Amino acid sequence: NAGVTQTPKFQVLKTGQSMTLQCAQDMNHEYMSWYRQDPGMGLRLIHYSVGAGITDQGEVPNGYNVSRSTTEDFPLRLLSAAPSQTSVYFCASSDRGNYGYTFGSGTRLTVV
């Protein structure tokens, strides 16, 4: 099984550019979420979804947009990249959340 697939693995953007980080899961999970990982700060929730057509904001949503048109896909859009968005981004999915999440391998984003 592929599990949770994130693309790309690495990306360099210039300030002001936009891009979409892709996330797909093949486990028919209802819950999907995006986190960013910064040194010394653990992982912080950006946006999440509890099913197709339903999204909500997490702890640090500013500058990011999401949509969930299918159960499988949960893309994260950076509208106008800023150096503060340099981070490692993880997508995760779960059946209901209370039994654990499966994580993708991450996207390392650098904004210059």
Q: List contacts with another protein (CB under 8 A).
A: 4, 31, 33, 35, 40-45, 48, 50, 56, 58, 90, 92, 94, 96-106
26 secondary structure, DSSP code:
S
* Nearer CB in complex with another protein: 47/78: 47
Contact 111, 81 (CB under 8 A): yes
| CA 33/CA 94 separation, integer angstroms | 9
Minimum Å gap between C-beta 40 and another protein is: 6
Q: Is the dihedral of CA 107, 35, 38, 110 positive or negative?
A: positive
Minimum Å gap between C-beta 17 and another protein is: 25
* Nearer CB in complex with another protein: 15/29: 29
Distance of CA 32 to the CA centre of its chain: 8
* Nearer CB in complex with another protein: 14/40: 40
